[in-house]
């Protein structure tokens, strides 16, 4: 099966630098996240994919499925693209001939029950976001492109809503391409990822491979906390040296050790899911901070030992 899109020397001009440069990028079928900070070029790339914008140079080739009777593409822009003259239920029913029961069930899955008769202007921003996604799901397109969906939905609810969207997409054989600034959303729901920084693609490929085997610190850090060891640091901090350059927090273990252990705790800063622990190598007078999973707090000055451990599960993030 050919890629859905292929970028060949694509350039989109900007005021001070290109808004996007993209060459050789291929977006395959499945679930693909486009990850980057604000201004990285996420919306620019998605606008090109859906034909809302054109490159100033280069070529974007598309091979969207068009032979199965389904709508080839459905797009949810960043401003939701809702129709102000239609009520909530009509947004869903108008994109596809579905029965009332299906409309009700879909609105319920997006937590919009009881709002069927409201107009867009009567909805909160978060409700509008959920309605835009509900309409996209109802369209049952072969490929759905979502520009930061659920960005206005409170964090506690996003995960469950995304689970429902992804489950429906997989059941229907729908490919999803979504923009996000959240590494958590990428790790939780995407199969492939395109990493953007300042208008350039810094990496693209399998989420699993780029998370566990990143080629550079920039790629590693884009997907979450990481401990990147320079070549001369491995022998200092890990017994026997390091097998690789990057270690995710779950791949390192800090334990209390005997009094003559080479490392001491300088300080620990608890940060919820990850703690930042600063260690001192006594003999070498070196100091370095590590991102680790929180454990039993160790007082400053405690002798400790740092070791690597496996923590990944087959086929995904542990």
pLDDT tens profile 189-201: 999 999 999 999 9
Which residues 6+ apart lie within 8 Å of 111 measured at CB?
A: 130, 157, 161
pLDDT tens digits for range 225-247 = 999 998 778 788 988 766 778 99
pTM score, whole prediction:
0.91
Strand duo 143-147 + 26-27: pairing: unpaired
Cβ 132 vs Cβ 81: under 8 Å:
yes
* Distance from C-alpha of 144 to C-alpha of 174, rounded to nearest angstrom: 7
* 196 within 8 A of 36, measured Cβ to Cβ: yes
**Could you tell me the CATH number of the domain that includes residue 289?**
2.40.50.140
| DSSP code for 29 | S
Return the HEC string of 50-69.
CCCCCCCEEEEEECCCCCCC
Tell me how crowded residue 153 is: count the other CB atoms within 10 A of its CB. Answer: 20
Polymer length of the chain: 318
Residue 187, domain member (yes or no): yes
Q: What is the mean pLDDT of the chain?
A: 91
Does 196 lie in the same domain as 103?
yes
* Residue closest to 220 by CA, chosen among 241, 254, 244: 244
The residue among 237, 293, 304 whose CA lies nearest residue 270 is: 293
Is 265:304 a contact under the CB 8 Å cutoff?
yes
Looking at the structure, do residues 144 and 272 belong to the same domain, yes or no? no
pLDDT value of residue 317: 37
- Residue 147's pLDDT band (cuts 50, 70, 90): very high
Domains in the chain, number:
2
The last residue of a domain, from among 222, 252, 279: 222
The pLDDT score that the predictor gives to residue 297 is 86
Report d(CA 306, CA 240) in Å as an integer: 11
Are 231 and 154 found together in one domain?
A: no
- The residue among 249 and 232 whose pLDDT is bigger is 249
Q: Is residue 97 part of a domain?
A: yes
Q: What is the 3-state secondary structure (H, E, C) of 254-270?
A: EEECCCCCCEEEEEEEE
74 & 143 share domain: yes
Instruction: Quote the domain boundaries for residue 251.
Output: 227-308
Asked if 171 and 291 sit in the same domain, the reply is no
Do 279 and 177 sit in the same domain of this protein?
no
Tokens of 211: 């998370």
Residue 59 tokens, joined: 């070529």
**Shared domain check, 298 and 186:** no
Of 222, 257, 272, the residue that ends a domain is 222
For 2-18, the pLDDT digits (tens) are: 999 999 999 999 999 99
137-144 average pLDDT score: 94
Give the residues across from 256 on adjacent strands: 304
268 and 160 within one domain: no
Task: Report pLDDT for 315.
Answer: 35
d(CA 169, CA 83): 24
Q: Whose CA is closest to 200, among 54, 60, 20?
A: 20
36 vs 54: CA distance, rounded Å: 21
For 278-318, what is each residue's pLDDT tens digit? 999 999 999 999 999 998 889 999 999 999 888 864 333 33
The Cα–Cα gap between 300 and 271 comes to 17
In this prediction, what percent of the chain has a pLDDT beyond 70?
Answer: 96
């Amino acid at each position: 099966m050919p890629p859905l899109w292929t970028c060949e020397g694509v350039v989109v001009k900007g005021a001070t630098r290109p808004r996007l440069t993209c060459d050789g990028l291929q977006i395959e079928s499945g679930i693909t996240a486009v990850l980057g900070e604000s201004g990285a070029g996420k919306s620019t790339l998605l606008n090109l994919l859906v034909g809302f914008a054109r490159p100033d140079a280069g070529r974007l080739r598309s091979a969207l499925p068009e032979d199965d009777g389904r709508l080839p593409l459905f797009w949810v822009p960043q401003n939701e693209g809702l129709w102000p003259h239609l009520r909530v239920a009509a947004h869903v029913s108008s994109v596809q001939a579905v029965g009332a029961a299906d409309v009700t069930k879909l609105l319920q899955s997006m937590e919009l029950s009881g709002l069927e008769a409201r107009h867009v202007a009567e909805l909160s921003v978060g409700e509008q976001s959920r309605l835009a996604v509900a309409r996209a799901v109802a369209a049952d397109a072969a490929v759905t492109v979502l520009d930061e969906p659920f960005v206005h939905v409170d964090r506690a609810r996003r995960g469950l809503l995304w689970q429902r969207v992804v489950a429906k997409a997989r059941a229907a054989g729908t490919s999803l391409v979504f923009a996000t600034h959240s590494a958590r959303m990428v790790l939780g729901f995407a199969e492939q990822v395109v990493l953007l920084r300042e208008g350039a693609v810094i990496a693209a490929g399998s989420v699993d491979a780029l998370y566990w085997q990143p080629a550079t610190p920039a790629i590693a850090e884009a997907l979450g906390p990481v401990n990147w060891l320079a070549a001369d640091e491995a022998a200092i901090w890990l017994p026997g040296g390091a097998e690789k350059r990057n270690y995710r927090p779950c791949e390192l273990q800090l334990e209390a050790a005997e009094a003559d252990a080479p490392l001491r705790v300088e300080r620990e800063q608890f940060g919820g899911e990850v703690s930042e622990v600063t260690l001192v190598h006594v003999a070498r007078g070196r100091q370095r901070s590590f991102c680790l999973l929180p454990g039993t707090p160790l007082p400053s000055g405690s002798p400790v030992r740092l070791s690597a451990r496996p923590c990944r599960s087959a086929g995904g993030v542990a």
